[in-house]
Chain A
Amino acid sequence: MTSPNVRQWVSSNAWVWSYAGAFLVFVAMLPFTSGHGVIQTTQVALQFSTFYVMVGLGQMLVIALGNGNIDLSIPGVITLGGFVGLGAGGDGPWGAATAAGATLLVGISAGLVNAIPVRILRIPPMIATLSSGFVFQSVAIAYSRGASAAPPALLADVTTHRSAGVPDLTIIFVFLSVVVAFTLRCTKFGRTILALGQNARAAGLTGLRVGPTITFVYIISSTFAAFTGLLLAASVGGASLDMGQDYLLFSIAVVVLGGAAISGGRASTAGVWGAGLLLVLSVTLLNVIGVSVGVRFLVTGLIIVLVLGLANRRA
Chain B
Amino acid sequence: MSLLNHTISQQALDAPAEAFVELAGVGKQFGAVRALSDVDLRITAGRMTSVLGHNGAGKSTLIRIIAGLVKPSAGRVRIAGDAEDKLSPRHALSLGIRCVFQELSLCDSLTVYENTRVLHPNLTGRRWRNRSRALIQQSLDTIFPGHDIDVNELVGRLSIGRRQMIEIARAFTVTDVPVRLVILDEPTSALDAKAANQLMQFTRRVRQEGCSCLFVSHRLREILDYTDDIVVMRDGRVTDTIVMGPNVSASILVEKMGAVHDEAPLQAGSPTRKADGRSVVDITGSNGSIPFRATKGEIVGLSGLAGQGQRELLLQVLSATQRLDSHCKVTGKAAYVAGDRQSEGLFPLWTVAENLSIGSLSKVCRLGVISLRRERTLAERWRAALSIRAPRVAYPIRLLSGGNQQKVLVARAFASEPDVVLFDDPMRGVDVNTKTELYGQVRRLADSGCTFLWYTTEIAELWNCDRVYILRNGRITEEIPRHALSEERVISASFERT
Contacts and interface: CB of A to CB of B under 8 A. Distances in A.
A201 B361 CA distance: 18
B343 interface: yes
B412 interface: yes
Contacts of B68: none
Contact of A191 (B318, B338, B370): B370
Contacts of A202: 338, 343-347
Contact of B396 (A12, A203, A206, A261): A12
Contacts of B346: 199, 202
With a 10 A CB-CB cut-off, give which of B336, B347, B369 has the most chain A CB atoms.
B347
A91 to B, nearest CB: 40
Interface stretch (B228-236, B296-304, B348-356): B348-356
A202 B345 CA distance: 5
B318 A205 contact: yes
B365 A188 contact: yes
B347 A186 contact: no
A208 interface: yes
Contacts of A261: 349
A187 interface: yes
A198 interface: yes
Contact of A198 (B350, B361, B365): B350
A206 B369 contact: no
B362 interface: yes
Given A188-B368, A207-B359, A208-B358, A265 B338 contact: no
A206 B412 contact: yes
Contact of B370 (A188, A203, A207): A188
A206 B359 contact: yes
A45 to B, nearest CB: 31
Interface string B358-395: 11011001001110100000000000000000000000
A232 interface: no
B310 to A, nearest CB: 15
Interface string A265-309: 110000000000000000000000000000000000000000000
Of the four ranges (under 10, 10 to 19, 20 to 34, 35 or more), the interface on chain B belongs to 20 to 34
Contacts of B372: 185-186
Interface in A236-289: 261, 265-266
Interface in A185-200: 185-188, 191, 194-195, 198-199
A198 B355 CA distance: 11
A199 B348 contact: yes
B347 A195 contact: yes
Given A187-B368, A206-B412, A198 B348 contact: yes
Interface in B174-191: none
B361 A266 contact: no
A70 B41 CA distance: 52
Given A186-B369, A205-B318, A199 B362 contact: no
Contacts of A206: 336, 358-359, 412
Given A186-B369, A186-B370, A201-B344, A191 B349 contact: no
B370 A187 contact: yes
Contacts of B348: 198-199, 265
Contact of A199 (B335, B336, B347): B347
Contacts of B365: 188
Given A191-B358, A206-B336, A266 B349 contact: yes
Contacts of A195: 347, 358
A191 B354 contact: yes
Interface in B320-338: 322, 335-336, 338
Contacts of A201: 343-344
B344 A205 contact: yes
A195 B344 CA distance: 11
Contacts of B370: 185-188, 191
A188 B368 CA distance: 8
A205 B347 contact: no
Contacts of B412: 206
A188 B396 CA distance: 20
Nearest to B314: A205
B344 A199 contact: yes
B343 A205 contact: no
Given A186-B370, A205-B336, A265 B359 contact: no
Nearest to A183: B369
A199 B369 CA distance: 23
Contacts of A265: 347-349
A116 B361 CA distance: 28
A180 to B, nearest CB: 14
A202 B359 CA distance: 11
Contact of A188 (B318, B354, B362): B362
A315 to B, nearest CB: 10
A194 B350 contact: yes
A205 B338 contact: yes
A198 B348 CA distance: 7
With a 10 A CB-CB cut-off, give which of B338, B349, B350, B372 has the most chain A CB atoms.
B349
B381 to A, nearest CB: 19
Contacts of B362: 188
Contacts of A187: 368-370
A202 B343 CA distance: 7
With a 10 A CB-CB cut-off, give which of A195, A198, A199, A261 has the most chain B CB atoms.
A199
B339 to A, nearest CB: 11
Contacts of B349: 194, 198, 261, 265-266
17 contacts: A185-B370, A186-B369, A186-B370, A186-B372, A188-B361, A188-B362, A191-B358, A199-B348, A201-B344, A202-B338, A202-B345, A205-B344, A205-B345, A206-B412, A207-B335, A265-B347, A265-B349
Query: What are the 9 tightest A-B residue pairs by CB atom distance, in nearest-first order?
Result: A198-B347, A186-B370, A205-B336, A188-B361, A201-B344, A266-B349, A206-B359, A265-B349, A202-B344
Given A202-B345, A205-B318, A207-B322, 4 more contacts: A186-B372, A198-B348, A199-B343, A265-B348
